[in-house]
Amino acid sequence: MPEHINASRQYFREAMSRLGAAVNIITTKGPDGDTGFTASAVCSVTDDPPTLLVCINKNASQHNTIKTTGILCVNVLAHDHQELAPVFASVGKVPMLERFALAKWQRLATGAPVLESAAAAFDCKIDQIVEVGTHSVLFCAVQAIHLGRGNSGLIYHGRAYHKINTDKA
């Protein structure tokens, strides 16, 4: 029989680990150079106008830079980015210059770094910010889109990365 538990922080986090989500690298161009982090808290809000929702922890080192610049790029990871995702998720362990040196990047409308090999990338301006608990919820107006290979993805489920590859070969 399923167990019913009060909605404590511990049980909420455990339940959320069972909700699979796409893995993304969120990037921006700040006064100190390019910066980025791995996130799964991204979703579509509307397609007219094209808008995404991105959540960032207020304690993240990139938080203030993203809020100040008002721009970001959501780089949707493909299955072959499984090694790149944890590098951008590491807090202070790998310097930003080294993180960005691991892949090829380009620029679109906002100037935020766009991962050339991303499954898709959404270059955005932040329209609205709502503060909720430990996080800032960013409503991001899509300015430009980069479409890469659409046949693969990377999800995070059960506290681990999982490859999705729909290639028939």
* pTM of the complete model: 0.92
36 close to 27: Cβ distance less than 8 angstroms: yes
Burial environment of residue 125 by CB neighbours within 10 A (0 to 12, 13 to 18, 19 or more): middle
Phi, psi of 55 (to 5 degrees): -105, 135
- Residues 138 and 54: beta-carbon distance below 8 Å: yes
Average pLDDT value for residue range 53-59: 96
Q: With 90 as the cut, is the pLDDT of residue 25 above it?
A: yes
Angstrom CA distances, 129 to 10, 25, 59, 76, stand at: 26, 19, 16, 21
Phi, psi torsion values for 151, nearest 5 degrees: -100, 10
Nearest to 110 by CA among 135, 148, 75, 136: 75
Domain that holds residue 15: 9-154
Domain assignment present for residue 103? The answer is yes
Is 4 part of any domain? Answer: no
Residue 1 lies in a domain: no
166 inside domain: no
CATH number for position 140: 2.30.110.10
Picking from 78-87, 114-123, 149-158, which range would have the lowest pLDDT averaged per residue? Answer: 149-158
Domain membership flag for residue 98: yes
Instruction: Tell me whether residue 102 is in a domain.
Output: yes
Position 163 in a domain: no
As for how many domains the chain has, the answer is: 1
* 131 backbone dihedrals φ, ψ, rounded to 5°: -90, 125
Residue 106: pLDDT band (50, 70, 90) is very high
Does residue 1 register a pLDDT over 70?
A: no
Q: Is the pLDDT of residue 4 over 80?
A: no
Per-residue pLDDT band for 91 (boundaries 50, 70, 90) equals low
Domain assignment of residue 160, yes or no: no
d(CA 65, CA 90) in angstroms, rounded, equals 17
With a cut of 90, say whether residue 2 has pLDDT above it.
no
